[in-house]
Amino acid sequence: MLTKRIIACLDVRDGRVVKGIQFVDIIDAGDPAELAHRHAAGGADEIVLLDITATHEGRGTLIDTVQRTARELFIPFTVGGGIRTADDAAAVFDAGADKVSINSAAIARPELIDEIGQSFGAQAVIVAIDARRTANATDPVGEAEVYVSGGRKPTGRKVVEWAREAEQRGAGEILLTSMDADGTRNGFDCELTALVSEAVQIPVIASGGAGNAQHFADVFGRGRADAALAASIFHFGITDSRALKAEIQRAGVAMRLPC
């Protein structure tokens, strides 16, 4: 049976893994290649490397980091951050990535999804959506809006409508980050995730808000997510993906175990 995926996420700045803003734990900071391998050995189902400074500082993805990380990594590997053209994507694929995650650049020029998909296949394109509920709307979830530039700039586009367009243009997966839940450790935005997951036929990866294993079980259940990103969860007592997955499985969700 198809299992739900735990995707270990490495936020990289200047070639080093950095932790989330509110978190002062130092365990996770370090070399991306080394940490990617540690996560793979620890039972992660996939690795995502996000160059978090790339978009607003205009830097390209760090090809060298991607190359070193991809070497001897035998699970799926996604790279995001600073990919603006099909050529940028090609360079990342050449360096060893299996998928690219595009966000702001796809909003600015949606044809980018088609272009990468046509060259490398739909399975290689993840469209990342940073979403925020529209607090004063009659339907805050249904009216949730897409943000770009690390969640700082509203785009005026509705999340569900953009997810559908991304699918039609040939995205293989949606990576949905709730800006409301991100950093709270109070759980994923299950309502929003379920809404998007039901609106499209492609898999949806949930991100933002995880504080414990039950939160993952909830987003896989109620939230209808196909996969979830795990980053800061490893700072809080859960040692690795294997331990996290064992807990999620105990909560009734099928995981890739043993792994």
Partner 1 sequence: MIAVIDYKAGNLTSVMKALRYLHADAEVTADPEVVRRAAKIVLPGVGHFRATQRLANGGLTEAVRESITKGAWFLGICVGLQWLYEGSTEAPETPGLGAFTGMCERFPAGIKSPHVGWNSLDSLRSDSKMLRGIPEGGFVYYTHSWRAPVSADTAAQTTYSAPFTAAVERDNVMGVQFHPEKSSTVGMTVLKNFVEL
231 closest CA partner among 39, 66, 100, 90:
39
The minimum distance between CB 166 and partner 1, in angstroms, equals 14
Q: Which residues contact 138 (CB under 8 A, 6 or more apart)?
A: none
The Cα–Cα gap between 162 and 72 comes to: 36
Residue 220, interface with partner 1 (CB under 8 A)?
no
Is 130 a known active-site residue? yes
Residue 221, interface with partner 1 (CB under 8 A)?
no
Span near partner 1 by CB under 8 A; candidates 23-31, 132-140, 188-196, 197-205:
197-205
Question: Which residues from 74-113 bind partner 1, rule CB under 8 A?
Answer: 74-76, 93-96, 98
The correct pick among 123, 155, 214, 249 for binding partner 1 (CB under 8 A) is 123
244 vs 24, 248, 249, CA distance in Å? Answer: 21, 6, 9
The Cα–Cα gap between 154 and 119 comes to: 30
**1 vs 26 by CB, closer to partner 1:** 1
- Torsion angle, CA of 131/175/222/154, rounded to 10 degrees? 0
Could you tell me if 249 and 257 are in contact, meaning their C-beta atoms sit under 8 angstroms apart? yes
Phi-psi domain of 245 (left: phi exceeds 0; alpha: psi -120 through 50; beta: other)? alpha
Residue 216, interface with partner 1 (CB under 8 A)?
no
The minimum distance between CB 235 and partner 1, in angstroms, equals 25
Binding-site residue total for partner 1 (CB under 8 A)? 32
Residue 8, interface with partner 1 (CB under 8 A)?
no
The correct pick among 72, 87, 111, 139 for binding partner 1 (CB under 8 A) is 72
The Cα–Cα gap between 29 and 232 comes to: 11
Is 139 a known active-site residue? no
* Active-site residue (options: 28, 51, 130, 226): 130
Site string for partner 1, 129-168 (x = CB under 8 A): ----------------------------------------
The minimum distance between CB 123 and partner 1, in angstroms, equals 4
Burial 114-149 (b: 16+ CB within 10 A, else e): ebbbeebebebbbbbbbbbbbeeeeeebeebbbbbe
The correct pick among 70, 148, 181, 190 for binding partner 1 (CB under 8 A) is 70
Residue 249, interface with partner 1 (CB under 8 A)?
no
Could you tell me if 77 and 69 are in contact, meaning their C-beta atoms sit under 8 angstroms apart? yes
Give residue for tokens 């993805």: 61
Q: Give catalytic residue positions.
A: 11, 130
Contacts with partner 1 by CB under 8 A lie at 1-5, 40, 45, 70-72, 74-76, 93-96, 98, 120-124, 172-173, 201-203, 226-227, 256, 259
